[in-house]
């Protein structure tokens, strides 16, 4: 992507700033298509934009159901609502999965950076039992992490590359639809259109 910032990203950054005093403002819903063809939705944490881009990063466990769903159909949608400013962003795009087996060294470096930026409590979750499987009656396990080593195998980075953003401001009753396309030189270009709320 070129140096121009996507116009919707400026709106999103402003919404994040004006709602930053609310802990839940960094949470949004991520919807994928389930293997059964039905919607599959969950709440995830915003882990920042990939450097110099409008791509959205999400940390997750490779053992979760969403990984198989994304491998089956890489398209997803984020729904992010900011309660103080009454703004909603529906961000549609394609997700790239970056796990420890990715052959691209640049992607592995991005994964490692995201791991390093995570709290110890967050990192420890990746050492627990497989998410979604029945709980076994047993003593709680004690885990420890060696801070000198990189991400554990279960840690994975999802990167959503937006191609459409539906922005709704309920206070001003304004709705904008942002759509991207690739220019002749391969740059992502955004257009916007005001639509009825």
Predicted TM-score (pTM) of the model is 0.90
Task: Indicate the pLDDT class of residue 171, thresholds 50, 70 and 90.
Answer: very high
Q: Which residues contact 73 (CB under 8 A, 6 or more apart)?
A: 32, 33
From the list 2, 189, 160, 181, the residue with the least C-alpha distance to 89 is 160
Which domains can be identified in the chain, with CATH numbers?
7-128+149-195 (2.30.110.10)
Find where tokens 């919404």 sit: 15
* Total count of residues recorded for the chain: 197
Of residues 63 and 143, which shows the higher confidence score? 63
Q: Which residues contact 61 (CB under 8 A, 6 or more apart)?
A: 67, 125, 126, 131, 154, 155, 156
DSSP, res 150: -
The per-residue pLDDT for range 117-153, each reduced to its tens digit, is 998 888 888 988 888 888 776 655 566 666 667 899 9
From the list 31, 33, 39, 38, the residue with the least C-alpha distance to 92 is 31
């Amino acid at each position: 992507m070129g140096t121009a910032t996507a116009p919707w990203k400026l709106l999103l950054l402003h919404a994040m700033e004006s709602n930053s005093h609310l802990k839940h403002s960094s949470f949004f819903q991520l919807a994928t298509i389930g293997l059964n063809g039905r919607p599959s939705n969950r709440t995830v944490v915003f882990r920042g934009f990939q450097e110099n881009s409008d791509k959205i990063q999400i940390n997750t466990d490779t053992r979760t159901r969403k990984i198989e769903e994304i491998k089956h159909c890489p398209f997803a949608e984020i729904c992010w609502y900011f309660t103080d400013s009454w703004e909603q962003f529906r961000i549609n795009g394609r997700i790239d999965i970056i796990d420890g087996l990715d052959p691209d060294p640049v992607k592995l470096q991005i994964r490692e950076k995201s791991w390093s930026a995570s709290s110890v409590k967050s990192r420890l979750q990746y050492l627990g039992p497989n998410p979604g499987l029945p709980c076994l009656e047993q003593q709680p396990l004690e885990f420890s992490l060696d801070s000198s080593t990189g991400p554990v195998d279960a840690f994975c980075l999802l990167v959503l590359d937006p191609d459409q953003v539906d922005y709704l401001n309920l206070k001003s009753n304004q709705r904008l639809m942002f759509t991207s396309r690739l220019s002749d030189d391969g740059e992502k270009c955004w257009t916007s259109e005001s639509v009825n709320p």
